[in-house]
Amino acid sequence: MEAIFEFMPILYPSRVTFELAITLRQKRKIALGDALVAATALEHRQTLATANIVDFQWITGLSLVNPTSGADKMK
């Protein structure tokens, strides 16, 4: 599993990340951690890999993939 992470870039939160996370939390009740990871994916135009697709599918423009099922949901 650690070998996978060697090829992934580290994406640090920026002011834009925090502003997007705040906007998400204003729209719907969402945990801070979930808002931050969603905002980071949106800012960097990356797909969010999560087994919890349901909690994120309402976010416009967020691409999602469920790595545990092999099925993905793209928006």
Residue 5 is assigned to a structural domain of this protein: no
Assigned token pair, 14: 């920026």
Range of the domain at 44: 13-73
Residue 4 is assigned to a structural domain of this protein: no
Three-state DSSP class for 55? helix
pTM of the model: 0.82
Mean pLDDT of 11-30: 96
Q: Which amino acid is at 53?
A: I
Residue 39 is assigned to a structural domain of this protein: yes
Residue 47 is assigned to a structural domain of this protein: yes
Total of domains in the chain: 1
How much of the chain, in percent, has pLDDT values that exceed 90?
73
How does pLDDT run across 39-48, given as a tens digit for each residue?
A: 999 999 999 9
**Closest C-alpha among 28, 31, 68 to residue 50:** 68
